Chains A and B, each alone.
Chain A
Amino acid sequence: MSTQPDLLYSEEEEALRAAVCDLLTDHCAPADVISRTESDAPHDLALWKLLADGMGLAGLLVPEAQGGQGASAREAAVVLEELGRAVAPVPYLTSAVVATEALLACADEELLGRLASGRTIGVLAVGLHHAPDAAFATVRVENGTLHGELTGIADAAVADVLLVPADDDGLYAVTADAVTVTPQVSLDLTRPLATVTLAGAAGRRVGDAGPAVRRALRAAAGLLASEQLGVADWALTETVRYLKERKQFNRPVGGFQALKHRLAQLWLEVVHLRATARAAADALATGQDTDVTVAVAQAYAAPVAVRATEEAVQLHGGIGMTWEHPAHLHLKRAKADSIAYGTAGAHRSALAELVGLQGP
């Protein structure tokens, strides 16, 4: 590798971050996210409309010719950092990244354009836990219709179109009204899973499932690191803020050295995560060294995000264990993210092959 990835944020990326951040500050308060999770509709479609329709973020990765913004994974990464920070219950990763990348592999312009507008939400019907190179479940094609059940499909509850892999290696676009979507009780309340049942559903073949799924999940794994960065950074920032305010034994709790060292160590890990998430986003944008950099990012990001949110719960003391404090939303997201698109261990195994460090 002769060239180094660009690990900074450009001025345009910082401006995009500020715009997303402002919108989320106004429209995605933690208390509202919590009360929404207790309703029948955990997703915030009004917020989605502002982000996707209002700001054009749903089409960030779609070329301008197909109605998108023609931006790159670097910009999408910045959006995901802020969505992660707010644990925003919107289908950005699933629709604007995963389903979009699958359709880019298939070059389905019509559907891409609809997803880019944000008025159609698309979801790839592959279980959230699948690593980019892992085998995935398919449905049967019988007499031109689709039959089967797929589980662990993130954001399926709000999908208008599902991209369903079938046993003839085709990827089929199926409209939501042709399938039965049954919500599963999910660990992560802000990115709920569902079962999708197809009983003779009609579908339109948009391309080959294998390369489309691999491309989509690789982009997802790489960009998930930026979401995890947002989650971890929120946990660190909020915990530091709280520990400066909270007093016990007549002094701010943050003045105790045992806690200072834990937070300093966590800060260092978040700093590492930021550089690594940037590297993954840049590798996806440039196509250079992508497989290794994405695997490194996912091998590193998940443990850091989980530890950051676990530390947030612990260091907030009693309040950190309550339903009313948002720390649990971030903990649940971080833990679910540690399984999403492949565990750290799965990505380490992939790395072993990629960089020639095979086991015994």
Chain B
Amino acid sequence: MTDTEELRRRTQELLAQHPPASTDRLDFLRARFDAGLAWVHYPEGLGGLGAPRSLQGVVNAELEAAGAPDNDPRRIGIGLGMAAPTILAYGTEEQKRRYLRPLWTGEEVWCQLFSEPGAGSDLAALGTRAVREGDEWIVNGQKVWTSSAHVARWAILIARTAPDVPKHQGITYFVCDMTDPGVEVRPLRQITGEAEFNEVFLADVRIPDTRRLGEAGDGWRVAQTTLMNERVSIGGMAVPREGGMIGPVARTWRERPGLRTHDLHQRLLRLWVEAEVTRFTGERLRQQLVAGQPGYEGSGMKLAFARLNQEISGLEVELRGEEGLLYDDWTMRRPELVDFTGRDAGYRYLRSKGNSIEGGTSEVLLNIVAERVLGLPAEPRTDKDVAWKDLAR
């Protein structure tokens, strides 16, 4: 029933019943969710219609043309991209009904309590403990690099519930109420001076067993669903020449001939070529996805962008010479979104250092390419059959 025409008809019906011009933003978003037009590939009753995911574009285009409000997807990216697919896959009916609607409308922001000071790339080594007591779990530990924790209502949380078994087997997945006593959020000030992220301290936090996702001890498998959805898909938009970080540098070069040196010229041209080549690779990947023949290229794009951004922004600071010795603002800000272009070269240089660490370090990604794409032997594992409590740390 859910072909393009049907979706278009339903969208027009929604617009007729809730004209964007005279409807409250939140009321419109709730009505859109209830009409099954939020994420059409979700089941009926949960914001969708069980339609092919590719048809979402039909709805979005109609709504955009009518000037309908959106749900600010960048602000609620963790909820949309990571929490929702996990809840859909592992949640009970009750959990799905409770969490998905306010998640999608943006009424409730989600964050992700996965990384720990002692468990970064080796995430499954995490040490935050959850001990069962009747119908509740008592949680103690510390999480780090948590985006949006200071504005989040809910968190997806993984904690250790069985220390006597190998690390992957003793983890359980929960939904944590960020307003509960014992949850303390502290800004984590980083290299740029701002605090995009947080540390989250959990002290005797009581989580009811009804907020567990999946079976006790099966949390690693549940987390795989979350992590598989973490990799942001390369955007559906074609990028123009000089569309990335090379743009501001090329502009500065053209506008201020006094800054030019022969050495910088050689480096700029090399990086301009690499930026263009990387753009072609992204474009080829995009065309493959559109043609329904996804390639392995995506695995390498994060690696490529991380290095390129770091080299370009590094060059940009040097190009500015005397000005490169200055910095726009060291005030500890708490941005809701990262905005590279709104700030100076120095900020871009420092922030891009995170590009080769966040969401999988470049070293880990190189292993993944070598093993999954090239089929080279996996790294030797010495932790496989060792109980978590006996691991070196």
List residues of chain A with CB under 8 Å of any chain B CB: 1, 4-8, 240, 243-244, 251-252, 254-255, 257, 260-261, 263-265, 267-268, 271-276, 278-279, 296, 299-300, 348-349, 351-352, 355-357, 359-360
Secondary structure at the A interface, as helix, strand, loop or mixed, is: helix
| A355–B288 CB distance below 8 A | no
With A4-B283, A7-B284, A265-B366 given, is the CB distance from A272 to B278 under 8 Å? yes
| B284–A352 CB distance below 8 A | no
Apart from A261-B366, A272-B304, A357-B250: 13 A-B pairs, beta carbons within 8 A: A1-B241, A7-B284, A260-B370, A264-B367, A267-B300, A275-B281, A275-B297, A276-B276, A296-B273, A348-B273, A355-B272, A357-B268, A359-B260
Q: Which of B212-269 contact A (CB under 8 A)?
A: 238, 240-241, 250, 253-254, 257, 260-262, 265-266, 268-269
Q: What residues of B have a CB within 8 angstroms of the CB of A278 in the complex?
A: 280, 284
Q: How far is the CB of B212 from chain A (nearest CB, A)?
A: 37
The verdict on B131 contacting chain A, using a C-beta distance below 8 Å, is: no
| A276–B280 CB distance below 8 A | yes
Chain B residue total in the interface (Cβ 8 A): 48
List residues of chain B with CB under 8 Å of any chain A CB: 238, 240-241, 250, 253-254, 257, 260-262, 265-266, 268-270, 272-274, 276-278, 280-281, 283-284, 287-288, 291, 293, 296-297, 300, 303-304, 363, 366-367, 369-371, 373-380
| B241–A268 CB distance below 8 A | no
Q: What residues of B have a CB within 8 angstroms of the CB of A251 in the complex?
A: 377
| B287–A352 CB distance below 8 A | no
Q: B280: which of A254, A275, A352, A357 is its contact (CB, 8 Å)?
A: A275
| A360–B374 CB distance below 8 A | no
| A8–B287 CB distance below 8 A | yes
| B273–A272 CB distance below 8 A | no
Q: A357: which of B253, B374, B379 is its contact (CB, 8 Å)?
A: B253
- Nearest first, the 5 A-B pairs at minimum CB distance are A255-B377, A260-B370, A360-B260, A7-B284, A264-B369
Q: What residues of B have a CB within 8 angstroms of the CB of A360 in the complex?
A: 257, 260-262, 265
A-B contact pairs, 25 of them (CB 8 A): A4-B283, A6-B287, A8-B287, A240-B376, A244-B375, A264-B367, A264-B369, A267-B369, A268-B303, A268-B304, A271-B281, A271-B296, A271-B300, A275-B277, A275-B284, A296-B276, A296-B277, A300-B274, A348-B266, A348-B269, A351-B272, A356-B254, A357-B269, A359-B262, A360-B261
| A299–B273 CB distance below 8 A | yes
Nearest A residue to B250 via CB reads: A357
| A268–B300 CB distance below 8 A | yes
| B260–A244 CB distance below 8 A | no
| A240–B283 CB distance below 8 A | no
Q: What residues of A have a CB within 8 angstroms of the CB of B257 in the complex?
A: 360
Q: What residues of B have a CB within 8 angstroms of the CB of A5 in the complex?
A: 280, 283
| A276–B277 CB distance below 8 A | yes
Nearest B residue to A360 via CB reads: B260
